[in-house]
Amino acid sequence: MPINSEADHRIVSDAVAAAEAHTSGEIVTVLAEKSDRYDDIALLWAIAASFTAMSALALFPQFFLGKIDWLFEQLGYWHHEWTTAQIVTLTLTLGLLKFVGVWAIQLWDPLKFFLIPPPLKTFRVHEHAIRHFKVGAERRTHGRTGVLIYVSLKEHRAEIVADEPIAEKVSADVWGEAMADMLGHIKQGQLAEGIAAGVRDVGVVLAEHFPRDTDDTNELPDRLIVL
């Protein structure tokens, strides 16, 4: 459900502008298709499958060799005694084929992301959000009142990251309420509306702890940043 239309972008930017009208805080919104390629995890699955296949052959050689002999007999070949070199070659070939096969099927993103452990998805989305916050919002405002709302589509996860002065006054439970409101809309397919809902909730919290000064200026962009 990517945001492509100008109307969707306007929903988010208008929500940011409205929220910042009552606070000296600055809200940055970022939407990412995914937070990581997870190629290292795909590699680990392929290696694990390869070693599992080779280990199974090493533990139960007679079973597997018997199946191969039966197949060869069906193709018209005579039964023969397996040499050590042939068994080693068969084992390595099986491991290689298993590695390539498991790596190849993970080129299909839905399966690849299904195989990623949920805690790892959460960790990498959090790390990616922190990196974007450090680059785009941290210490970028006069009173260090920046907040990043980060949504990662493939992982179905979101993060709210705040500058230190805000984090000292606002507990994680409060951000959790904003997160729940935002994700509730997103799960219904309303991506722009969900991000806007998160922005409004964050704006209410910021207005309570960091009300707008008379000389306050807009220091960070209101637009939705799409990665």
Residue 159 burial (C-beta neighbours within 10 Å; 0-12, 13-18, 19+): buried
At residue 75, the pLDDT reads: 66
The pTM assigned to this predicted structure is 0.81
pLDDT at residue 118, rounded to an integer: 94
User: Does residue 23 contact residue 211 with C-beta atoms inside 8 Å?
Assistant: yes
Token pair belonging to 101: 């096969």
pLDDT at 8: 83
| Domain 6-36+116-226 sits in CATH 3.10.310.50 | yes
Using CB atoms within 10 A of its CB, is residue 99 exposed (0-12), middle (13-18) or buried (19+)?
buried
Q: Report helix, strand or coil for 2.
A: coil
Report pLDDT for 52: 93
Q: Is 59 left (phi over 0), alpha (psi -120 to 50) or beta?
A: alpha
Residue 140's pLDDT is what? 57
Q: What is the pLDDT of residue 115?
A: 92
- Give the pLDDT score at 137: 59
Where the chain has pLDDT below 50, the residues are none
Give the residue extent of every domain in the chain.
6-36+116-226, 39-111
